[in-house]
Structure 1
Amino acid sequence: MSKITTYSPEIREHAVRMILEHLNESPSEWAAIEAIAPRIDCAAQALRGWIRRHQTDAGQRPGATTEERECIKVL
């Protein structure tokens, strides 16, 4: 059975910041994610999801923002 780990918002923000800083040094976004994920001790796919959520919240990708998703949950 796999272990489910919950990361604090601070760790997620730090990880996203690290990826954004290393994008210019890496040949692709995925290469940056694979390089950073072991440092944070998280799965690369989890980190990719955090990046996508950040991009959606920043308006760089289509979709409901975190704030909108919270409103939908309340309704």
Structure 2
Amino acid sequence: MAAPRKYPDELRERAIRMVLDLLEEDPGSQRGVFRRVGDQLGVNPETLRGWVRQSQIDAGSRPGTTTDDAQKLVELEKEVRELRRANAILRSASAFFAAELDRPSR
């Protein structure tokens, strides 16, 4: 289960919208925008920068791994771990039963 987020989703969405709107008005003021919006909303500017970057990736306007793709990767990696564990158990069981078959019967 994922840990609870420090900031509510509504705050995140509002902050991202504010930054994107301000960047659209004045693309040259990027550094100041993150600091200004972060101060207004009580969010660390670097945290805000990460949110905006991920939002741009999810929207397709920036290269990178989307949130959906990252979640799918996590799920697939979990499935691979489970399958490897199951295969190890099956190999052990197979070796055990093969050894039992090779024993002379009494």
TM-score after normalising by structure 2:
0.62
Q: Percent identity?
A: 35
In the alignment of these two chains, the number of paired residues is: 71
Return the offset for 1:25.
4.4
Does residue 18 (structure 1) correspond to residue 21 (structure 2)? The answer is: no
CA distance in 1, matches of 2:22, 2:64: 25
Alignment check: 8 A CA contact 1:34 1:44 kept: yes
Structure 2: gaps (5+ residues): 77-106
CA distance in 2, matches of 1:71, 1:26: 33
TM-score after normalising by structure 1:
0.85
SS at match of 1:64: coil
Alignment check: 8 A CA contact 1:26 1:32 kept: no
Greater helix fraction, Structure 1 or Structure 2: 2
- Which protein is bigger by CA-based radius of gyration? 2
Alignment check: 8 A CA contact 1:15 1:47 kept: yes
CA distance in 1, matches of 2:19, 2:61: 16
Structure 1: gaps (5+ residues): none
Greater relative CO (CA pairs within 8 A, separation 6+) = 1
